[in-house]
């Protein structure tokens, strides 16, 4: 199966601008004059002037020239750009989910708390761990939290010599960055000819200074690390 992307000869949006064109305007409303110090005044923004349909067509053409998860296979295994079932998007957009406020009364969010608890239990069972945190709000945030948990674990064991984290050379760039932000020295382990972690190289890299192996499965190449148990 081959994928043919659209090819548009699309100018920059500034090149499409015509003086006086607008998408929509807000009604004039009298407002109190505020004397802003001259040094704080902003210069007028040089924004392009286009109608709404022109803006929509411009960005739609640009999007059609991109490879997307809706139009083709996307193997990246360590990030969030995966195919999300449309029903999940619909559920996430429900007011009962999207309008929840952190300061709501506890009795009004029991349904949401139940969903969070069930998800936490499912992920813990799949991963084979006792507990899972849903506090991180993004992939890299989750990596960083995992590194902080790792550091806290070794600190609880009074083991301060483990200051290295092993990261595969195929890892997404946020992996070593998260480890470094958590205060660890990053040690890179090479991949083998199959695109997986080279076990012999890994064994040679592990030492008494190793705090963790940071690994995503499937890896960033979209390949399942089939020797993960080893």
- Are 57 and 6 spatial neighbours (Cβ–Cβ below 8 Å)? no
Span 4-23, mean pLDDT?
89
- Are 23 and 52 spatial neighbours (Cβ–Cβ below 8 Å)? yes
CA dihedral 75, 78, 83, 84 (to 10 degrees): 170
CATH for the stretch 139-213: 3.40.640.10
Question: Could you state, in order of their start, the residue ranges of all structural domains in the chain?
Answer: 13-64, 139-213
pLDDT digits (tens, 9 = 90+) for 161-189: 999 999 999 888 889 999 999 999 999 99
pTM comes to 0.69
Torsion 163-169-173-175 (CA) sign: negative
User: Which band of pLDDT confidence, cut at 50, 70 and 90, is reported for residue 90?
Assistant: very high
């Amino acid at each position: 199966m081959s994928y043919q992307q659209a090819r548009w000869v699309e100018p920059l949006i500034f090149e499409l601008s015509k003086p006086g064109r607008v998408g929509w305007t807000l009604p004039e409303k009298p407002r109190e004059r505020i004397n802003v110090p001259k040094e704080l005044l902003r210069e007028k923004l040089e924004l392009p002037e286009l109608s709404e349909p022109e803006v929509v067509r411009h960005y739609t053409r640009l999007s059609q020239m991109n490879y997307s998860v809706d139009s083709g296979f996307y193997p990246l295994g360590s990030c969030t750009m995966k195919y999300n079932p449309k029903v999940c998007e619909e559920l996430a957009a429900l007011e009962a989910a999207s309008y929840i406020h952190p300061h709501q009364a506890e009795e009004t969010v029991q349904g949401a708390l139940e969903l969070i608890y069930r998800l936490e239990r499912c992920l813990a069972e799949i991963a084979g761990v006792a507990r899972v945190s849903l506090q991180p709000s993004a992939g890299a945030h989750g990596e960083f939290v995992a590194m902080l948990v790792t550091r806290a674990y070794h600190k609880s064991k009074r083991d301060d010599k483990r200051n290295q984290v092993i990261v595969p050379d195929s890892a997404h760039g946020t992996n070593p960055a998260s480890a470094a932000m958590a205060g660890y020295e990053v040690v890179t382990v090479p991949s083998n000819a199959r695109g997986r972690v080279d076990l012999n190289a890994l064994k040679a890299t592990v030492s008494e200074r190793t705090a963790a192996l940071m690994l995503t499965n499937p890896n960033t190449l979209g390949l399942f690390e089939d020797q993960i148990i080893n």
